Amino acid sequence: MKTGLHQHTALRQDLRINPRLYQAMDLLYMPLLDLQQHLKQELLGNPFLELIESEDDPELPETQDGVEEKKETENNDEPNWEDILLDDGSDSAPPRDMSEAREYVEPVPVETKDLSDHLREQMRLLDLTPRQQLLAEEFIGNIAEDGYLGATPEEIVRGSNQLLEEHAVESEQDAQPQLFTIAEAEEMLRIIQKLDPPGVGARDLRECLLLQLEARNETDTLAYRLVKEAFEDLKAHRWSDLGKRFGLDAAEVQRVADELAKLDPKPGLQYSAASEAYIIPDLVVEKIDGKYHVFLNDGGLPRLRISKTYQEIARDKKKFQGENKDFINQRLNSAHWMIQAIEQRRQTMLKVMNFIVDRQREFFEKGVEYLKPLTLREVADVINMHESTVSRVTNEKYVQTPRGLLPLKFFFSSGLSTTTGEDASARSIKAQIQKMVDDEDPKNPLTDQQIVEMFAQRGVRIARRTVAKYRDQLGILPARMRKRL
C-alpha cells in the first residue's frame, strides 16, 4: 500500500442550486406584506428598476407646459445615474447615496406592555423595602405568560440568596448578607397573588380558581367549598358523588360547576405580549354570474419595469469598461430576473388557487362538511410543478372567499374512504363530528362508538380511535363528561 498524494480523473454528477433559484423560492414563500417591503428595497438598490405609474396625474394641468414642467421636476429630483456609474472614485467629494432619490422608512410596531410590565407597575405603587423589591422581582421573573408561577418558593429563595451572596463578593463586604427565608417568600407570594389580574401567581389551576373567587369575595359560597375540598371530583364531573357528599341535588352541583367554568383558567394571557397580526389576503375568490373567479390581491405591490433611461446608458459600450461594465450587466440582469420572478410567482399562485377552487367547489357552495381531501402532491401533479413549490406557494398565504378569510393550508387535509369510493376530507369529518355533538341530547350524549355507527350509515368508514382523536383535537369532552342532568 503506497502512501502520499495522488491525482486521478473521474466523472460525477453534483446537484447545485443557482443563487437566483434560492431567491425565487424566497419570493414564493413571502406573504404579501413581506413582498411589498422586499420590492421597495429592490427599487432603492437597483437603478435599472422603476415604478410603473399611472399616466393620468390629477395634479398636473392638461397642457404641454404642465407636462414639460413635470419632466423638468423629475430631472431635477432624479440623481444623474450616468455620472454615478462613470465615477471612478477619484473625486474627493463624498459618494452620493444611490437611494437619495426616495427615502424609505421602515414601519416600526409600537411596543406593548406584557404581564411582567403590568405586575411591576403595580409593585411600584406598594410601599416595599429594597429587600422586598428584590424578592418581588424574582417572583415576577418566574411567572409564566399564562400567569402561573413557574418555580417553588424554595427555588426562588435559593436564587435570591445566590444574588445576595454574589453582590456581597463583588462589593467586597466583610459581613455575611442576611439571607431570605421561606417565610419571607410566602409573604411576598401572598402580596403578588393579590395583584391584577385575579389568579396571577397561582401554582396550579385549583389555586388559580380559589384566588379568583377570593377576589370576588365569594369565600363563603358552595363554589369555593367545591374547589377547595373536592377539586378532583369536580374535574371528573362526579355530580352524584359530590351531591351526596355535600347534601345537595346533583343538578345543583352541576349548576355551580357551570359558574366555575366561566372563570379564567389562564389569567395572564389577557396581557400577552404577542403582537396583533394584521392579515392581508394574497388572493380573492368571488362568485360572479354563478362562477367562481380567482383574483390576485396585489394592487398594493409596486409594479416594476426596466428603466428606458438607463437601458440607453447601458447600450453605449464605449463608456463602460471593466468594473463599470460588470456592475451594469449585473444590475440589468438582476432587474430583468426580478420582473420575471414576480410574474412567475403571480402565475403560480393563480394556477394553485384555480385548481383548489375547481376541486373544492362543493365546499364553497355548501360548507366545510363538503370539503374534499387534497394533498400538495395532487396539486403539484396537475400544475406540473414540484411539491415543494406548491408548499411554498401555500405557506402563510390567505385567501378571501365567500366562506370567509382562510389560510391556503385549510384546503389541504387527508382523507377517509367511503362506500361510494370517493374519499371524505378529515377536516370535513371533524366538522360533522362537531355538528353531531352540537345536535345531541345533552342528557344522553353520543359515545364514540355511536358516532362511528352514524358515520357508517353515511357511508364513511372510520375507526373509534380516530373519532376519539378528532374529538380531542376539537376540544370535545368524552360522553360521560358531557352528560347533563
Q: Please report, in tens digits, the pLDDT of each residue of the chain (485 residues total).
A: 567 677 767 776 654 445 555 566 667 767 777 777 778 887 777 777 777 765 444 443 443 343 343 344 344 444 444 444 444 444 444 444 444 444 444 455 555 678 999 999 999 999 889 889 989 999 999 999 999 999 999 999 998 888 888 877 776 666 677 888 999 999 999 999 999 999 999 999 999 999 999 999 999 999 999 999 999 999 989 999 999 998 989 889 999 999 999 999 999 998 875 555 677 888 999 999 989 999 988 777 777 777 777 767 666 666 666 666 677 777 777 777 788 888 888 888 899 999 999 999 999 998 888 888 888 888 889 888 888 888 888 888 899 999 899 998 889 877 676 666 566 778 888 888 999 999 998 889 999 999 999 988 888 888 889 899 989 988 898 888 888 87
Same domain, 347 and 362: yes
Same domain, 190 and 224: no
Structural domain includes residue 293: yes
Instruction: Kindly state the helix (H) or strand (E) to which residue 380 belongs, with its residue range.
Output: helix 376-383
**Number of structural domains in the chain:** 4
C-alpha cell at 86: 462613470
Structural domain includes residue 1: no
Same domain, 394 and 421: no
Helix (H, G, I), strand (E, B) or coil at 53: coil
Domain boundary among 272, 305, 327: 272
Q: How far apart are CA 340 and CA 346, in angstroms?
A: 10
C-beta atoms surrounding 11 within 10 Å: 4
Q: How far apart are CA 481 and CA 273, in angstroms?
A: 34
Same domain, 322 and 372: yes
Same domain, 219 and 148: no
360 touches 411 (CB < 8 A): yes
Structural domain includes residue 102: no
Same domain, 23 and 141: no
For the chain, give percent helix, strand, coil, nearest 5. 55, 10, 40
Domain boundary among 386, 412, 438: 412
Structural domain includes residue 98: no
Q: How far apart are CA 478 and CA 471, in angstroms?
A: 8
Pairing outcome for strands 291-296 and 283-288: antiparallel
Q: Domain range for residue 137?
A: 116-195
Same domain, 417 and 406: no
Same domain, 287 and 335: yes
Same domain, 161 and 231: no
* CATH number of 434's domain: 1.10.10.60
Structural domain includes residue 371: yes
Structural domain includes residue 149: yes
Domain boundary among 212, 247, 272: 272
Residue 17 CA, distance from chain mean position: 29
Handedness of CA 93, 98, 103, 106 (dihedral sign): negative
C-alpha cell at 242: 359530590
Burial class, 2, CB count within 10 angstroms (exposed 0-12 / middle 13-18 / buried 19+): exposed
Same domain, 313 and 289: yes
399 touches 293 (CB < 8 A): no
Structural domain includes residue 184: yes
Same domain, 152 and 213: no
What secondary structure letter does DSSP report for 203? S
Structural domain includes residue 6: no
Same domain, 429 and 476: yes
Round the CA-based radius of gyration of the chain to a whole number and report it. 34
C-alpha distances out from residue 209 to 127, 157, 253, Å: 28, 25, 16
pTM: 0.58
